[in-house]
Structure 1
Amino acid sequence: MRLISDNIMNVKRMLLSFLLTLLTGISLAGNTEVQITHFSEKDGLPQSVFTGIIQDSKGYIWISSWNGLCRYDGYSFFHYKARQGDNCPLPNNRILSISETKDGNILCKFHENKFFLFKCNEKRFVALPDRVKSQADRFRPTAQQKSMIGCLPEYKDIETRILYKDRQGGYWVFTHSGLDRVVFNKKRLSPVKRSSEGEEFIRCIFQYGADDIFVADKNGVICVWDKVGNTKGYLCGNGSISKLRHPFGANAYCMFRDSHGYLWIGTKPNGLFRLMPLKDGGFKVKAFFKGKDNKYGINNNSVYSVLEDKFGRILVGTYGGGLNVIVNPWSETPQFIHCDNGLDRYPVEAKFIHDMLLVPDGSLLLATNDGLFATKIQRGIHGLRFLQNKRVPSDVESLGNNQVMSLLRSKDGKIYVATYGGGLNVVSSGNLFSDKIRFRAYTMDNGMSTDIVLALYEDKKGLIWAVSEHGLMSFNPRNDTFTNYIEGTFTKGFSFSECPPLGINTGKTTLFGTTQGVLAVDENVLGKSRYVPKIVFDMPDSITLSPEEKSLNVSFAAIDYNKTEPIQYAYMLEDVDKKWLYTKDNHINLSNIPAGTFRLRVRSTNGDGVWVDNEACIIIHRTPYFNERPVAWMLYGGLVLAFIFLLVKVICYIRSLEKEIRILRLSKEEKMEYIKVRLGDMIEGDAQPALPAAIDGSVYGIGSVSSSDGTGSDNAFKEKVETFMQKHYSDSELNVGMFSCEMGLSRSLLYIQMKKVYGCTPNIYMQNYRLEKAYGMLINDKGLNVSEIAYRCGFTDPKYFSRCFKKAEGCTPTEFRERHQLTE
């Protein structure tokens, strides 16, 4: 009986487990999808036999194997093991189990109860005593978890073993082909097609009234939906609504409802259609297209945008013909005014219009292939002036890119400009009617997934949605952050179109145009994960660099293993960077690090693309060179001040010399020589007065020079000078210094006295005296040649003697001697 009872209990448990697994599978199938990430040796794993997995306090995943220890940070595997010649104490690399110690290191168990500790900061193994107690507690999956993993189609007929469940709900599954991480994510969004045709490229979504939504694709079909998305019918070319799928007959690119209730449909390349509503729910259709004989008809058949101004005129933006203004839009024969028949000042660069925007102040903005154009709408349209705003390479506040795709005015009055390649631009200047509109550009450097923006939309929360080719970007203007929805949110196989999104159901649902139908996004379904990953640095919290180390490679990771979008990082080196810098890499290279202590701050999005409050930082200190220290700058400052003081002193001294020169009335050459003499005196420390009025004969020992005529002192000075020169004129070493010393005067006083008595400087006097002696020798000593005479008269170079002689006499010494002989 007991055996039967046990069997019954086991059957009940099996049935209960089966029911739980079935219910779980049904629940997962309805709301989630399975994401399996496969890792093998090509991803950095050591090999395919794993013995244990843990997640440490920082969030790292540690994997033990028969070939060492691995650490995974969500990006890369880092392998640690014993290698030849590395002094590692491990007996082998076959680790049986691992656990984390209280201080954050990894305890590794080997055969025969041998334990080794892996020190994470030092990245090395150390041996431990044999009597260490193992703290390892292997993960034991429940029967439900085994069934949930085992019933996945990917693991059909494959032996699996669940090694671990991490803190984000990911299951680490060991199979014969490697290691898998299995996570159950919410289902990705897909567009819905209303036909079986290969591609349903949605180009226009428009709400006409409270209940009807018109959806136009490039197959020429305009489908009419009700407000919950059910198909009501199809708009035919004659204006009727058909229950059967029937083409409109033209590819609608834009729609607009005017103040009279008329529906205007812009197509490409079939021109413009005006639909007047009828009581039976249909429309009376009138088409306008370019004709050869109609001067006041539309000038281009590709219509991208339609608006109505405050004067009741319909503004038509064409792709190739520019702006068309319908002055009598509800008549049977409306007139189109354009650049060919009235808008004489319309610029040729503005002919390709993507979008238009009317602003309450009367400004009209045109989004074109060649920039943003602005004009002021007035009653008379023939004199409209259009101002162009383009990208200026040297102006950071100019337009980000010349190809403007879409325009949006938000509820708070801001103007948003979508560009193809220049990101999202926001108008920052107040006057729109200007060719110098200022913009602030948001690009990939600010967290956008791409710089290409096709269309714009503002939701009821005030978020600005930017549509790109392969995703959506939500911009929060309150904190200047972007949330990206890319491959993790949507299924593959479609791209977004330029169709402006449409909010329905009081803004709870937004319809986006794609190449495979309409994508309906509910605000609750599109909710993002609020998980806050911890940022960890692969280095100590404080780093000291030498003066020569001006660059540093920093690695970090936001630990989020449930990545559906690439994690974005923002970093800033405080007191060096003025703004946050953005990157998708989990490592950066800091260059030209100045001397001092700085904080490197890093924050990130989570794996769902949402910016979270997870800022972390490390301290970086770079030891300064001597010339980077404050004391060096104080020293340099002192030297500069000393130089300035000396320069001022020299300038003042030169000015005093100039005053003396003015008194002495010297020639230009004498002034330069005098300045050289006085500067030499200043360097030698001579501070004697130099003005003629201050000369006292007692200084020379030759009597007074301050008498009325000065004749006595001058004669004594002459006698002394001539006696000195007679003795020393042949001395080639004779200079002004020796001359002044012999006279008992300073160089400057000698200069003044020589100028007074002889009317020349000491150098000129010595040269003239030597030349006078040379004259006599040339005439009287005929046995001496010119060179000998030059040496005897104190000249060190006969050529120089000849030049001086010729300058004084107008002939060379040889010619002088020959001329004198002829005279005799």
Structure 2
Amino acid sequence: MTPSHTGANGLIFDNVVIPHEESGNYVRAINQLPDGRMVFVSVTGVDIYDGTHSKSLPAFPAEYTAPLKSYNGFHHMYLDNDSLLWIKDWGKVSCIDLRYENYRPVTDTNMTDIYIDETGRRIIQSTDSLIFNGNSLPRSVLNGTLQDVAGDSSTLYMFDDSGRITAFSVADGAILYHADAYPPEQKKDYSSTSLICSGKDGFYQIRNGKKGGFFHFSKKERSWTKILETPYTLNTLAIGDDNKAYISCQRGMWIIDLDSGEKKYDEILRTSHGDLIATEISTVYEDMDGGIWLGTFNRGILYYHPSKYDSGKIYLNPLNLNDTSGYFAENRDGSVYYCCGNDAYALNDKSSDGKPIKLSEINIGHTVSGSANTFVSHNGNVYFKTDYGIDIFSPRKSYQDESLAHKPLLTALYIHGERIEQGKDYNGHVILPFSESKTERIELTHNQNFIGLEYSTLNYMSRDSLSLSYRLSGLDPYTVKLNLPPGENRSFKIPYTNIPPGEYLLTVESGTNIAKLEIVIRPPWWRTVWAYALYTVFSIVLLLVAAYIYNNVSRKKMLRKHREDMLLARIRSLIDQCNAYENERVISECNATKPTQTPKAMDDSDSQFISKAMELVENNINTAGYSVEQLSRDLCMDRTGLYRKLMLLLDQSPSLFIRNIRLRHAAKLLLENRGLSIAEVAELTGFSSGSYLSKCFQEIYGCKPSEYAAKSQEST
């Protein structure tokens, strides 16, 4: 009757609930993406799961599904080097582009089957050939129909339905060797389906036909070993980090220790909710963190990790275990008992030293009873009654592994509270050209600077509190610490409001895993480089215009001053000439105001001609209509002869000759009769108007007639 604590046999699974799951419970295939997310394929849909959220796609949509004439197996997933996820099932294939998380058309019409090895290399099978890495081989190089592939950087291994493995050189497609798993007479027992997993020193394979078989191939020895044979089909295979093989089948699962050779078959699955499940396990998969995922036919998805629970066992007398009246009980103080007959056994109190306690000593009024076979205590301990005792699974109080394979993953982007959709146009700009998981840089406008970034920790094994940190360099002065509370939700949102335009780098850390995201907030157009260039050009033009105006004004001032100086010089010169003519009195008083030009040397006849011409003009000085024609008639000359004569003697035209005599007479009147107006002077000197007199006078004397007398007096 004395119980003892020892290691418990078997596994305990958590139920995985996928939000917005459209695939139902009929899970057929499981795979893990390089970023840590899980992919679940069922008969109705495909779910991409990050631990909190799930994106659902329909399974094999007609417009994106192509026929595969040579594939007669169940659901199979492959991931290639182009971020393409290929899904096969019974003569058809579809392809999901993970950059956009949407289906893409399968355009190769000659493809009858497709395989992808561990390196992401595609092997395309057509009607008569096999194509890989630029090599094209006839299908006859195999001993039968190709069923699966595996490979490394230098060697490609092909497995056919005869049980043979054929190794090819990746460089040139040459056959390196081949080896058979069993004699030809056993081919009918294992020729239907095949599934390969890589191991430490070779490959592990399950094969099905009339029987189910589990084999190992040693690359070093180039030989096969049969490990397990069953009379029923083996569904899928996973090789754990603990070097154990997990093989799913129609009911339950085989667990084989590959080091010791120990084999165990679990027909009943146990969950952390205390449930006992008997169902077909369609698929089993081991993730990068060593966790085991089960896809069942009708009970959804189950997850197990060896680090989540501490296990133990208490052995009891088989007679007590067969007592159908036995039950579990828990006191208010947390003590758990298994009660049978008049005795009780403390299941979480080692101080009892394995001795039974009288049931009467337990305060039954303060107990919480469980079922006859399972019990879950208030602190999460799970108890299962078996044929030999009680199996106990206790959640570990704290488990944080900083060597997790995954960095935090961006799962959603919000702007002003609105979730941004991949590929959608927002005001002429696609913010997320790729899916969030493939986004490394986002560009936003200046009015899209209220953002929220949602990340997932991709931590499937721990439900304890998690410590994270993040920092937006260029904005955050220090790293922000974040503690996620215990629970199922492993996602968190990072909010930022009113981010100034600029370039930033968001760094999110979880242990040693670091995720980075470039964030660019574009400035408004009036703060762009082109705008500043325009401002610079405008400023330069404005300065040039200002300089031009300044120079123009300065030049005009200088010209005005120069003219004033020239005017004063001319006035002084005229005054000097007047004084000289006054002293000499050579010809007459009016000659005192003759022009400054020096006439050419003249003989007596020329002097008489000039004197006569001047006399005629002076006699008609107040005749406004006295013109060149009248002067030439008075001199008995034609106009052309008069012009030549005056140009030769005085270098003046007849009209200029008449005008200068009038101007000299006007200057004399202005000096002698200051009371005369400009109009009166013009009338007395034969000018048609006072304005014309002023214009001509200013050209010769450099000042207005009204200023002439005053300036002459100042000079004197």
Provide TM-score, normalisation by structure 2. Answer: 0.37
Q: Which has the higher strand share?
A: 2
